[in-house]
């Protein structure tokens, strides 16, 4: 069956299918990226919790490392983890 023989309604359905497929691929890529970020945050939290409370901690600010308190960095990482988990949940809903 050549392209001209395909009915217009079927061409429209195929176009919608391809668009949905591309959208799904984009959502899956975003979800994978967020999951990788969450893994990094979890590792950082684990290492930070092992460090002494009075130890020196630095956090990244662009291309700089800035001295910060352990409590502040823990709080920041916990917030990033919570946001990441929310984003994964939203993306998982879009996936279905």
Integer Cα distance of 75 and 90 in angstroms: 23
Tell me: pLDDT of 96 over 90: no
Tell me: pLDDT of 73 over 90: yes
When comparing pLDDT for 3 and 85, which is higher? Answer: 85
Confidence band for 68, pLDDT divided at 50, 70 and 90: very high
Domains in the chain: ranges and CATH: 3-95 (1.10.287.370)
- The CA R_g of the chain, rounded to the nearest whole Å, is 22
Mapped onto helix, strand or coil, the DSSP state of residue 64 is strand
* CA-based nearest residue to 41, from 83, 69, 72, 71: 83
User: Which pLDDT does position 45 carry in this prediction?
Assistant: 97
Q: Tell me the mean pLDDT in the region 75-94.
A: 97
Integer Cα distance of 34 and 56 in angstroms: 28
pLDDT tens digit sequence for 6-59: 899 999 999 999 999 999 999 999 999 999 999 999 999 999 999 999 889 999
């Amino acid at each position: 069956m050549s392209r001209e023989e395909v009915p217009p309604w079927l061409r429209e359905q195929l176009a919608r299918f391809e668009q949905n497929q591309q959208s799904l691929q984009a959502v899956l890529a975003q979800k994978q990226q967020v999951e990788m970020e969450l893994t990094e945050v979890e590792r950082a939290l684990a290492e930070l919790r092992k460090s002494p409370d009075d130890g020196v901690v630095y956090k990244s600010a662009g291309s700089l490392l800035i001295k910060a308190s352990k409590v502040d960095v823990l709080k920041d990482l916990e917030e990033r983890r919570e946001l990441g988990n929310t984003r994964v949940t939203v993306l998982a809903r879009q996936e279905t």
